[in-house]
Chains A and B, each alone.
Chain A
Amino acid sequence: MKRTIPAILWSCSLLAGAACAQSREFGLIGGYGYAAPTLTLTGLAGTAQTGFRNGAAFGVYLAENPYKYLGGEIRYLYRMSDMKLSSGGTSTQFGAHSHVVHMDLLAHFQHPDSRVRSFIAFGAGVKVIQGTGAESSFQPLHQFAALTKTMQVLPTGDVGAGVKLSLRPHLRIRFEVRDYISPQPGKVITAAPGVNLAGMLHDILGLAALSYTW
């Protein structure tokens, strides 16, 4: 991880050339995530839904806008994301959080001098999920899966759109929506023997950011 971020920044510099120095942005970002119930466990005992709970997220990002309409950024997000498991009328949850680091390409629809600029974004990175709950010999719905106190690293991709507003020189505000898409976390949510875990993780975050530009 330590090697990845300087490399991206270095790549950005190459891509942007001299123009990189024209518009840089550092921002603080936060919001709330909605974890779509897209993971399904299927076994002899029936079916169950699993995944993560909705929760807040916050982080930082560093952006470069070397071209008139194109830009890039690298971002770190901390997401409070307890795990959950439910079937029928029974549900259980397990403490967890995740760290996401990703790099995105942003395409703007307005001129850089516009006070309001809308954009779309897509990118990729990694998600580190950390189970933090207290393990015990009995978890409800253990016949489907075990929510585990362990760590798992997953690749993640993201797509999104948003709008930037210039509040004053060097100060900008941004609103956006992103969908972080990851494969199933089979280590922190371990399907019981004989149970199939299917689906992809979709974590849709509504975010707001305040940034400084120079």
Chain B
Amino acid sequence: MGRLVGLLCCAVFCHAATFGTVVPVRGTVSDIALDERRGVLYLADFSAGRIQVLRTADLSFANPLPPLAEPASALALSPDGRYLVVGYYQSFPDSPGQPGFTVFDLNNGTQQNVVLPSPVLALAFGGGTQALVVTSGQFLLLDPATARTQALGANLLACRSTPVPLGRFSPSITWASTGVSGDGQTIIVLAKTTTAPPLCTPQTEEPPPTDASSEALIRYHVGTTQVDVLNWIFSPPLGPRAVSVNTDGTAFLAGWALFDSQGYLRSQFPHTLGDLRLGGVAFDSARNLIYADIPAVAKESPVLHVVDTDSLAVRERINLPQAMAGRSLFSSDGQTLYAVSDGGILVLPVGSLAAAPRVLASREDLLFQGGSCSPNSMSQTLDLVDPSGGNLDFTLSLDHPAGIHLSAASGTTPATVQIDVDPAAFHAAGGTTIVNLNIASTRGVNLSPPVRLLINTGQVDQRGRLVQVPGKIVDLLVDGTRNRVYLIRQDKNLVLVYDAASFQLIASLRTGNTPVGMAMTLDQRYLLVGNDNSQFASVFDLETLQPSAPILFPNAYPRTIAAAYGAIWATVRATDPQAQGLYRVDFTHRIASAPASLGVYCNIPTPSYCTSPVPPDAVVAASPYALSLLLAIPDGTVALWDSTVSRWAVARQDFTAFSGAYGTLGENWFVVDQHLLDASLYPALDFQTQTGASSGIAFAGTFGLRTTAASTGAGIVERIDLANFETYHATPTFEAPITAATLSTPSIGQIGQTILPFTRSLALLPDQSSVLILGPSGLTVVPLNFDAAVSIPMIAGVTNAADGGPAAAGGLISISGMNLAPAAAVAGAPPWPFVLGEVCATVNSEPLPLFRVSPTEVGAQLPTTVSGTVPLILQTPGGPSASFLFNVQGTAPAIFHSGASGDQTGLATVVRLMNNDLVTFTNPIHPDEMITIYLTGMGQTAPDVRSGDPAPFDPLALVLTPPAVAIGMTPLVVTYAGLTPGEAGVYQINAYVPHDIADAVQTPLTITQGSASTVALVRVVNP
């Protein structure tokens, strides 16, 4: 396996193309400055002690500036392009020079050298005429015309508090980096100190780690020359050593974190090494994007992450030829990004990134749903394209290739690859098997995310229907007030809002980075979402589906949230272990804090005997009427918030560990994992574990529900008798519910993943008609009466689905009868499933693709290979029907009578091309025009199209038996007769109406194919 992964990685990385150009530099670049007026980029070559000059037009080097006595640590160019200021780092032992800076007058070719007592660490020009100089001991303002400096203050960083007045400064900075806002009014300084400064007010703030260094975020207002310390970061180091500010200074990136103008951490990259040397960030305000190279693992191949500017959600990953390593600068037109790199300078034409060769797949997930009714092979197609329109090579590989066949394992874009899955290979696994289809290209610069192949081999006795939801869904919440379902999609930082009736996606709400859990406020007005890589919980107004002011969690990352009467509590991951605990939310002021104790119980690890704070992996859940709130901790501890006394009234540890389901069964019974706890949280009993690990719990008023998942196979939903808490009527579902194990996958780059040991996978629809179970493919919708006896289906008749006439090979049919399906369901666009709404049908033992089912009617498509008298069997959870014999003709054209217009229904689907409208009494056929007739039952085509699949656009599938079309006695010229592209089982005839067609209020439009014919009455007006 390791070898396979290695080969795969090599296939992806070793030969992949990269984006951008590297200009090697003989030395070590510590800083850059872009002089667009002269068309050059100045490079502070630290180790070679010189300023190199790179021509931006051809990326060749011009003569360097006069040699320097000391290593150049920083560069800045005045806004008018006249002065280039070069700062020097601390001299090495035998260096003849001294720290300080040199001002080059680029217009006159002169220079002024100034000696300073401390090394210069960073330089920046804002919109004014003065430069900010950061040394290891001072902040200075430099007038480049005179080379005179003015101290901004001292002891600014002497102690940790925000803000501190000017006049204080700690001479302990070891390095610094600066970023300037696009409007030139804000300069952000990221300064690293050797040791953490003491607290300004130690009696009210937590102490710093004793041995920690720290980074200070300092803001300099150019207009007011005001300096503020915005924030302190302790761990991990705030690498890479780069700062990038947006246009107006309201947001900036410093190292691995995105801050707002007040220095609060809005979002952070989830997998940070804190490597100060490698990586870089660039805030592209014009495109509302951030480019970031933040190494997720040591020595990884350099990857540019293109991410959102709010949540850092990864849009694309681009291969870089070399890792970024510090400052990056945009050209004024925003087309080119110049960045210090590991071995020189990276020149990235980001303005043309959209035109860069990339291979992208048309789908994120492909669901193959089969089972006992599945055919010998299930197929889906996947389009692979280069969005820039190029022809790129690609290679496909599968994590587990057994049972899966790709029509092409390699090729050139654009391409359509057919994926055939042999259901037999997955029957033993049961439930849903996830196989990653990996995409690689030697010429594409991007890293394509793998496409998930979700192969479900459900059996007819398994209940539910799957509503596919792509991505990593980690939490589920139902909104009874608005009849909606909320799902957290963690990999894209979204809350997906679905209509609970139609399961149509209503909205996608953008959260902070790595959302984990959610809750609604008691008034049902707001949705609160905890984000594991943001120090804010997202808040959404559910009336408008717009974001509301978020909740600040100072120095903590919120995870799960629950609202009870009198309090909203959240579990968090605190940045400082001393602040780890349960946080209480002040929703009015949108801020949260950790109380010193939870009533009589410890919360944070202070005092010292409170050694077991509430850990990050804990979860909270509210009872149905919000009178209680359950806290569950993986170490087996539970606690109970009692709203009637507004206290944490109970806390116990009767178990050594637990995970899985958590929730309540009413106000007085609580469930964690398989354990039922009474009102005092005393263990009352354990539910059965034979069917697998617990995943979800739900309260339905008069009974409870729970789901379990075995390590393989389908899921189980069962009822809980609230009188004796016995579980009964365990029923298999199509897909196993989520567990921490199934959600956890290897991290990919900077795409976030925070999987808690507890899961919430079960919810009831507001109308209590169905149960929703969260699984790897999305939602399994199970009728609430899943355990009710289902009657055996009885077939009464079979006709074509167009006009009720005879059925034909390849045509759409309508099966009528009783108990044909437990509930109504409709398939979407083809390809159609072979199991729909827990129903499947076979003819000659061959499964039929289904497009709609209901208790009295089932719509299906016949294969093109059947003919004569054939047996039909329908299977539902009630069992198989008796075999029903019916006749299938080779051709039996039948015009659909499914058209509707205004109050008219049942209209023949004959369309005038002139106005693309149905032919009716008020829209008659005229001479010299084209009409299109939609029908079914026209038999075999060339090429043959598998039943249930959409007909191809190229080549078109033409009928083998050509039809004749006439209006009255006048024949029409048929220009096309074949399958309608993109449709399944739907044929169309395009015909030309001759000039001499006769007027008629009602005249027969006759289609004859072989010995079969069909008629629709139409009106003709000439002219």
Q: Is B655 at the interface (CB under 8 A from chain A)?
A: no
Q: Mark A101-138, 1 if CB is under 8 A from B, else 0.
A: 00000000000000000000000000000000011111
The answer to whether B915 and A138 touch across the interface, beta carbons within 8 angstroms, is no
By CB atoms of chain A within 10 A, which of B924, B1022, B1023 has the most? B924
A36 to B380 Cα, complex, angstroms: 65
The answer to whether B923 and A137 touch across the interface, beta carbons within 8 angstroms, is yes
| Distance to closest chain A CB from B995 (angstroms) | 15
Question: Which residues of B are found within 8 Å of A150, using beta-carbon distances?
Answer: 926, 1021-1023
Q: Is B1002 at the interface (CB under 8 A from chain A)?
A: yes
Q: Which of A134, A140, A142, A149 interacts with B921 by CB under 8 Å?
A: A142
Q: Is A57 at the interface (CB under 8 A from chain B)?
A: no
| Distance to closest chain A CB from B207 (angstroms) | 78
The answer to whether B922 and A137 touch across the interface, beta carbons within 8 angstroms, is yes
The answer to whether A137 and B907 touch across the interface, beta carbons within 8 angstroms, is yes
| Distance to closest chain B CB from A157 (angstroms) | 26
The answer to whether B1023 and A147 touch across the interface, beta carbons within 8 angstroms, is no
The answer to whether B904 and A190 touch across the interface, beta carbons within 8 angstroms, is no
The answer to whether A136 and B922 touch across the interface, beta carbons within 8 angstroms, is yes
Q: Is A6 at the interface (CB under 8 A from chain B)?
A: no
| Distance to closest chain B CB from A134 (angstroms) | 7
Question: Which residues of B are found within 8 Å of A146, using beta-carbon distances?
Answer: 921-922, 924, 1019
A139 with B1021: in contact, given A134-B915, A187-B999 (CB under 8 Å)? no
A192 to B1001 Cα, complex, angstroms: 8
| Distance to closest chain A CB from B940 (angstroms) | 32
B924 closest partner in A (C-beta): A148
Q: Is A165 at the interface (CB under 8 A from chain B)?
A: no
The answer to whether B922 and A187 touch across the interface, beta carbons within 8 angstroms, is no
Question: Which residues of B are found within 8 Å of A137, using beta-carbon distances?
Answer: 899, 901-902, 904, 907, 917-920, 922-923
Q: Is A193 at the interface (CB under 8 A from chain B)?
A: yes
Question: Which residues of B are found within 8 Å of A151, using beta-carbon distances?
Answer: 1023
Question: Which residues of A are found within 8 Å of B904, using beta-carbon distances?
Answer: 137-138, 142
A138 to B903 Cα, complex, angstroms: 8
Interface size class of B (residues with CB under 8 A): 20 to 34
A142 with B920: in contact, given A136-B915, A190-B1001 (CB under 8 Å)? yes
Q: Which of B922, B924, B926, B1001 interacts with A138 by CB under 8 Å?
A: B922
| Distance to closest chain B CB from A20 (angstroms) | 40
A139 to B926 Cα, complex, angstroms: 17
By CB atoms of chain A within 10 A, which of B902, B923, B999 has the most? B923
Question: Which residues of B are found within 8 Å of A135, using beta-carbon distances?
Answer: 915, 917, 922-924
Question: Which residues of A are found within 8 Å of B899, using beta-carbon distances?
Answer: 137
| Distance to closest chain B CB from A52 (angstroms) | 18
B902 closest partner in A (C-beta): A138
| Distance to closest chain A CB from B908 (angstroms) | 11
A139 to B174 Cα, complex, angstroms: 82
The answer to whether B915 and A148 touch across the interface, beta carbons within 8 angstroms, is no
A31 to B920 Cα, complex, angstroms: 37
By CB atoms of chain A within 10 A, which of B901, B919, B1001, B1021 has the most? B1021
A136 to B915 Cα, complex, angstroms: 8
The answer to whether B1002 and A193 touch across the interface, beta carbons within 8 angstroms, is yes
By CB atoms of chain B within 10 A, which of A136, A138, A148, A187 has the most? A138
Complex interface residues of chain A between 57 and 76 (CB less than 8 A to chain B): none
Question: Which residues of A are found within 8 Å of B1023, using beta-carbon distances?
Answer: 150-151
| Distance to closest chain B CB from A188 (angstroms) | 9
Interface size class of A (residues with CB under 8 A): 10 to 19
Complex interface residues of chain A between 134 and 164 (CB less than 8 A to chain B): 134-140, 142, 146-151
Question: Which residues of A are found within 8 Å of B924, using beta-carbon distances?
Answer: 135, 146, 148
| Distance to closest chain B CB from A50 (angstroms) | 13
Complex interface residues of chain B between 920 and 959 (CB less than 8 A to chain A): 920-924, 926
The answer to whether A142 and B922 touch across the interface, beta carbons within 8 angstroms, is yes
| Distance to closest chain A CB from B924 (angstroms) | 7
A136 with B1001: in contact, given A142-B904, A146-B1019 (CB under 8 Å)? no
Q: Mark B896-912, 1 if CB is under 8 A from A, else 0.
A: 00010111100100000
A187 with B917: in contact, given A137-B922, A142-B904, A146-B922 (CB under 8 Å)? no
| Distance to closest chain B CB from A152 (angstroms) | 10
B921 closest partner in A (C-beta): A146
| Distance to closest chain B CB from A173 (angstroms) | 40
A138 to B919 Cα, complex, angstroms: 10
Q: Mark B996-1023, 1 if CB is under 8 A from A, else 0.
A: 0001011000000000000000010111
Question: Which residues of A are found within 8 Å of B902, using beta-carbon distances?
Answer: 137-138, 140, 142
| Distance to closest chain B CB from A212 (angstroms) | 38
| Distance to closest chain A CB from B219 (angstroms) | 64
A151 to B1021 Cα, complex, angstroms: 10
A193 to B919 Cα, complex, angstroms: 16
Question: Which residues of A are found within 8 Å of B903, using beta-carbon distances?
Answer: 138
| Distance to closest chain B CB from A172 (angstroms) | 41
Question: Which residues of B are found within 8 Å of A147, using beta-carbon distances?
Answer: 922
Question: Which residues of A are found within 8 Å of B917, using beta-carbon distances?
Answer: 135-137
By CB atoms of chain B within 10 A, which of A147, A151, A190 has the most? A190
B1017 closest partner in A (C-beta): A193
A147 closest partner in B (C-beta): B922
A25 to B261 Cα, complex, angstroms: 89
Q: Which of B907, B923, B1002, B1019 interacts with A136 by CB under 8 Å?
A: B923
| Distance to closest chain B CB from A115 (angstroms) | 50
A30 to B901 Cα, complex, angstroms: 41
B919 closest partner in A (C-beta): A137
A138 with B999: in contact, given A146-B921, A146-B1019, A150-B1023 (CB under 8 Å)? no
A150 to B907 Cα, complex, angstroms: 23
A213 to B700 Cα, complex, angstroms: 97
Question: Which residues of A are found within 8 Å of B919, using beta-carbon distances?
Answer: 137
| Distance to closest chain B CB from A76 (angstroms) | 22
Question: Which residues of B are found within 8 Å of A136, using beta-carbon distances?
Answer: 901, 915, 917, 922-923
Q: Which of B907, B915, B922, B1019 interacts with A139 by CB under 8 Å?
A: B922
Q: Mark B730-773, 1 if CB is under 8 A from A, else 0.
A: 00000000000000000000000000000000000000000000
A150 to B1000 Cα, complex, angstroms: 13
Question: Which residues of A are found within 8 Å of B920, using beta-carbon distances?
Answer: 137-138, 142
A187 with B901: in contact, given A137-B918, A137-B922, A146-B922 (CB under 8 Å)? no
Question: Which residues of B are found within 8 Å of A193, using beta-carbon distances?
Answer: 1001-1002
| Distance to closest chain A CB from B211 (angstroms) | 80
A137 to B1022 Cα, complex, angstroms: 17
A190 to B922 Cα, complex, angstroms: 9
A148 to B924 Cα, complex, angstroms: 8
By CB atoms of chain A within 10 A, which of B902, B921, B926 has the most? B921
| Distance to closest chain B CB from A46 (angstroms) | 15
| Distance to closest chain B CB from A147 (angstroms) | 7
A138 to B915 Cα, complex, angstroms: 12
A38 to B161 Cα, complex, angstroms: 92
A192 to B920 Cα, complex, angstroms: 11
Question: Which residues of B are found within 8 Å of A192, using beta-carbon distances?
Answer: 921
Q: Mark B111-133, 1 if CB is under 8 A from A, else 0.
A: 00000000000000000000000
A139 to B147 Cα, complex, angstroms: 84
Question: Which residues of A are found within 8 Å of B1021, using beta-carbon distances?
Answer: 148-150, 187, 190
A146 to B922 Cα, complex, angstroms: 5
A131 closest partner in B (C-beta): B1021
Complex interface residues of chain B between 870 and 924 (CB less than 8 A to chain A): 899, 901-904, 907, 915, 917-924
**In the complex, the 10 A-B pairs of residues with the closest C-beta atoms, listed nearest first:** A138-B902, A137-B901, A139-B922, A137-B918, A138-B901, A146-B922, A137-B920, A137-B923, A137-B917, A135-B923
- Residues of A whose CB lies within 8 Å of any CB of B are 134-140, 142, 146-151, 187, 190, 192-193
- Given A135-B922, A148-B922, A149-B1021, list of 9 further CB < 8 A pairs? A135-B915, A136-B901, A136-B922, A137-B919, A142-B920, A147-B922, A150-B1023, A192-B921, A193-B1001
11 example contacts (A-B, Cβ-Cβ < 8 A) are as follows A136-B915, A137-B922, A138-B903, A139-B922, A140-B902, A147-B922, A149-B926, A150-B1021, A151-B1023, A190-B1001, A193-B1001
- Residues of B whose CB lies within 8 Å of any CB of A are 899, 901-904, 907, 915, 917-924, 926, 999, 1001-1002, 1019, 1021-1023
